[in-house]
Structure 1
Amino acid sequence: MACVGVFVAYLPVTTVSVSLPTIQRGLDASTADLSWVTDAFVLPMAALILTAGVVGDVYGRRKVFQAGLVFCAVGAAVALSAHSVAVLWTGQALAGVGAAALLPATLGLISHAVPDPRERAKYVSMWTASLMGALAVGPMISGVILEHASWRWIYLAPVPASLLTMAIAARLVADSRAAGSRRLDWPGQLTAAVAITALVYGVIEGGSSSFGETRVVVALVLAGLGLIAFVVVEGRSDSPMLDLKLFRSAAFSATALVAMISFLGLIGFIFVLSLFLGQVQQLGTLDAGYRMLMFTLPAMVAGPVFGQVMHRVSARVLITGGLLLATASLLSLTSIDAGTSFGGLAWRLIMLGVGFGAVFAPMTATAINAVPQQLAGMAAAGSNAFRQVGGALGPALMSALLTTKVTAALPGRLSDAGVAPDARHRVVAAVDGGGFGAVHTVDLGASTPRMLHAFGLAFVDGIHLCLVVSAAFMLLAAAVSAVLLRTPRPAHPAPPPSSATLSWAAHSGGRT
């Protein structure tokens, strides 16, 4: 049931990502609006995942599991009825709250059901495969639906899936709580939520308008103050949501940074790739889904394989090697253009998927093994939170870069294509006012094909910039891994854990 739960939680990620061009046309949304469609889901995950773990520890993980499924169902139902981008944001946010509850709850249930660490690793690999499976089938579901119906119907499947899982879990899943006296940390939760939300808002709005605007400056200053306040209150708390002692471990700090930096680059890339496939290559959602599958399917297959060998190969080698392969893949993608074929894109995306398959499981395991056993659950939840923060910032940053570059390159590309000055102004004004999708509503008569070709070239300029930046993030994450992940592997197997240790492992949350 834990694997089904995480599948339901992550199903909206790529289901929505490949549908963004269709959603943009259906709601007349700007590129910044589309960033919020993605971030409205990811932000609650980043802001609430630590608190959800504590709530499960205190009140019972099955309750949090069930509540997460309720939020997923309600969020999907709201998005299903959306006729404005604001309502769609609301539905995405509710589903994001559900996902924030399901991630720690599902891993906590696995930890409780399988107390032996080695045996548990097999089920964690299954959990990871289920997560990647949701990312893999999402585009296919969207593609089939959008071939025959409105984009809103992509939100139908999570409703019965969530309700059915709830009904089965009520009979089959045993509840569990954490040993000890953990308490809810409301000051930590509030300051973390303020810092994360203000940061992502500032990046999105700054990219779509100007980083000098008062509201953007206020948001970024508020984010900084929120981060300082979070550090202060967590340092003074008797029951912190995220114990700052975790960061005394270089290995934990490294995995947290690697998680945030690499997912910033990855999720940001997926965001701009979906726009490229829809706006430039003019692919249907199903055809775009086949291309996305070239990344998600290898990652799903490779993840459990690398999870099995990480007892024989150091996490440092796996993570650094995987990130370097991902960097090479992103750099190779800088040669794509509007005419790139399926095969030309596929082998590059397969490289990216295999690279991330080598990163995901070792990164999570290292975050837990790098700290004392009593902090293991919190360490895994913290690593997840950093990953989601990176995932929230990715679309925001890449949207800003893409919009800035395309807007700057478009007039020159239109001029090179021989489009008249007054027509160039119309096209640029349309993009400024309505986002990239608006360019397809501009009719220049005989000049329309040349205008669309020029727009495609400007967009390719933008996606090449985003790819270089994403590759730089991957390379930075690889450097962090290579420098900080130096914890030596034990020469002999660890002694059997005591009953007290097993008790903690079973109840600490086990968010591995």
Structure 2
Amino acid sequence: MPHSSVAEPVAPPARPPALTDRGKWLALVVICAAELLVVLDNTVVNVALPSLGVQLHASFGGLQWVVDAYTLTFAGLLLAFGHLGDRFGRRRVMMIGLAGVAVMSVGGALATDLGQVIAARAAMGVFAAAVFPATLAMIINIFTDVKERAVAIAAWTAMAGFAIAIGPTAGGWLLEHFSWHSVFWVNIPVALVILAFTRFLVPESKAAHIGRLDVIGIALSLLSVTTLVWTIIEAPKLGWLSVASLAGFVFAVVCFAVFIRWEMRTSSPVLNMSLFRIRRFSLPAVAIMVAYFSMFGFLFMITQYFQGVMELSPLEFGLHSLPFAVSIAIGAPLATLIAQRIGTTAVIVFGLVVMSIGMYIAGQVKVETPYVGPVLISMVLMGLGLAIVQGPATESIMSSVALDEAGAGSAVNDTTREAGGTLGVAVLGSVVASVYTTKIGPRIDAIPDFLMTPNEKSFARESVIAVLEMVERPTNPAFAQQKADLIYAMKSASLEGFQLASYVTVSASLFVAVAVALFLPWKPANESVLLAWKVDDKP
């Protein structure tokens, strides 16, 4: 589809000062480091979930909120900060975000209960939202050559894989030697170092022509996204058809509708709605959403599996998860470059199919299944599938927007990731929890109180992670066999939940693969943002 559906610019956009080749690649390193910080925080915290759950006696829902509090504010504010970066300067907004992440990490490090941890995570998500859209927007402004931009975007997508690679291992090492507070302390020096390098190595860029600040659009986008994400997170506990859940979904839809109508009528929208008429923009965004739906759900479940079922230490979990992460780090840049030759559509469809196969295999894992075999194969296929999808899809999205709208385009790309990730944790986590509780609840309730306290029962009823605490607790030899049988039943029930969740993921991935194959152009897109400017000038 031609790019003429994008609003025509009045004049060429303001670009960052010309950099030497060395300067451009140094700026890319710093930008990717900022991205690393944001992604790393999620992976490190995932490893710490079992320790948090045991030490703070957190419920399964509480652990979900440790992940989702960050995601909720992050997803809700991405579009707003992307727009503000276009308007006031992407580097400036990113630096504010880096400073905020450092400050709020202190709050997380000093937290003494679950509520404080969740509050710190939510605040960190606010400032992370200022960092993330700016990274990709600055990359497409710095790298104006088509091939160089493809390489830079490939590096940006590969960095997510690198973060996943070092996150569980680094987090595991920290938890082996320190308490869970250390996963917050580590953010502070990293954020400050990146902040300093950003000031001196990354050029400022912003839109050359801006209208009035779209305060109404920003407010509506924030209301709609955060309401939807909150409702999805809480629906498993409140009931998907409860009054509160239905009211949340209706309110989110109404806000979305009003937001779309407002953005189509205002002269300076926070988001150019005509971008969604471009198939190379909208369909890859959907593909990324489903890919991250699968990936975040897979990561949340694999954390439960490695530490609850296999009873690995945090460091062992990190090492065992490396194949998944390395697959992403290797596959992302290769897939982006291959898509330049054979087309984005073929690569995205192939990636979604690979993810589906990986998730299906993961769903067949049993308690006795060895690591080297289905577990390892499923991780490699999931990692490769995600990498194959996200690199080319991101490049397609960003090649569809004008440079003046780079921040907004990047924010859409990032919002789809976070919305998909939140759905993955909420929906797949709910599926697993429902199956697990149904199977295990009656057995836990039948245990006498002198063997398990009410709090211990509540935790065991909601999460297989309770196995870690149960294994450590001394047991009267007379009850040793019953304890072993219960632990095995808990592990089996969690894997039954994983199986059902895997079928949900496989169905979603294959459905989107078919949609992309049918509606996304198969011809390679040679146009870049620069060429799009020329096309827009033609009738």
Task: Tell whether the structures are fold-level matches, with TM greater than 0.5.
Answer: yes
Please tell me the residue identity of whatever aligns with 2:70: F
Provide closer, same or farther for how the CA distance between residues 165 and 484 of structure 1 changes in structure 2, counting only shifts above 3 A. Answer: same
Q: Please say if residues 251 and 484 of structure 1, whose CA atoms lie closer than 8 Å, have aligned partners that are also in contact.
A: no
8 A contact 1:42–1:388 mirrored in 2: yes
Structure 2 match to 1:138 = 167
CA distance in 1 between partners of 2:395 and 2:514 (Å): 19
List aligned pairs for 1:197-346, cutoff 5 A.
Answer: 197-344=226-373, 345-346=375-376
Contact 2:295 2:382 in 1 (8 A): no
Residue pair 2:174, 2:182 contacting (<8 A) in 1 also = yes
Partner amino acid, structure 2, of 1:471: V
1:328 Cα offset (Å): 0.4
The equivalent position to 1:453 in structure 2, one of 478, 488, 494, is: 488
Q: 1:330 to 1:359 in 2, by over 3 A?
A: same
Conserved? CA contact 1:53–1:381, under 8 Å: yes
Percent identity of equivalent pairs: 27
2:386 corresponds, among 351, 356, 360, to 356
Q: Helix, strand or coil: the match of 1:175?
A: coil
| 1:224-250 Cα distance to aligned partner (Å, 9 max, x none) | 222222222222222112222112223
Of 353, 378, 383 in structure 1, the residue corresponding to residue 408 of structure 2 is 378
Report the equivalent of 1:508.
none
Which of 181, 185, 197 aligns to 1:156? It is: 185
Q: Is the counterpart of residue 108 in structure 1 residue 133 in structure 2?
A: no
C-alpha deviation, 1:107, in angstroms = 2.1
The answer for the alignment partner of 1:409 in structure 2 is 439
Secondary structure of the corresponding residue to residue 18 of structure 1: helix
Q: Please, what is the CA RMSD of the aligned residues?
A: 2.8
Distance 2:85 2:356 in 1: 37
Asked if 2 retains the 8 angstrom alpha-carbon contact of 1:200 and 1:396, the reply is no
* 1:469 lines up with 2:509 in the alignment: no
How many residues align? The count is 496
Match of residue 64 from structure 1:
93
Residue 218 of structure 1 aligns to a residue in which SS?
Answer: helix
Q: 1:111 to 1:368 in 2, by over 3 A?
A: closer
Unaligned runs of 5+ in 1: 505-512
Secondary structure at the counterpart of residue 209 of structure 2: coil
Q: How far, CA to CA, are the matches of 2:522 and 2:456 in structure 1? A: 51
Match among 14, 21, 28 for residue 57 of structure 2: 28
Amino acid at match of 1:475: L
Mapped to 2, the partners of 1:261 and 1:301 lie a distance apart of 21
- The reply on whether 1:92 has 2:117 as its aligned counterpart is no
CA change 1:476–1:499 in 2 (3 A) is: closer
Deviates more, 1:109-118 or 1:316-325: 109-118
Indicate how the Cα distance of structure 1 residues 337 and 248 shifts in structure 2: closer, same or farther if over 3 A, else same: same
Structure 1, residues 336-371: CA drift from partner, whole Å, max 9, x if none? 122332212112211111111111111012223346
Mapped partners of 2:403, 2:426: distance in 1? 36
Secondary structure of the 1:242 match is coil
Is the 2:400–2:529 contact (alpha carbons within 8 Å) kept by the matching residues of 1?
no
Amino acid at match of 2:78: I
For 1:268 and 1:210, the matched residues in 2 are separated by: 20
CA distance in 2, matches of 1:432, 1:213: 26
Residue of structure 1 equivalent to 2:395:
365
Pairing 1:483–2:512 present? no
SS in 2 for 1:322: helix
Q: What TM-score do the two structures reach when normalised by structure 2? A: 0.85
CA 1:340–1:34: 2 relative to 1, 3 Å: same
Task: Give the TM-score normalised by the residue count of structure 1.
Answer: 0.89
CA distance in structure 2 between the partners assigned to 1:156 and 1:303 by the alignment:
30
- Pairwise CA distance, 1:131: 2.5
Contact 1:54 1:184 in 2 (8 A): no
Partner residue in 2 for 1:193: 222
How far residue 262 of structure 1 moved from its aligned partner, in angstroms, is: 2.2
1:138 shift after superposition: 0.5
1:247-275 C-alpha deviation (Å, 9 max, x unpaired): 22233221122122221122112112111
State the shift of 1:63 in Å.
0.8
Conservation of the 8 A alpha-carbon contact between 2:351 and 2:389: yes
CA distance in 1, matches of 2:351, 2:276: 24
Which residue type is aligned with residue 503 of structure 2?
A: V
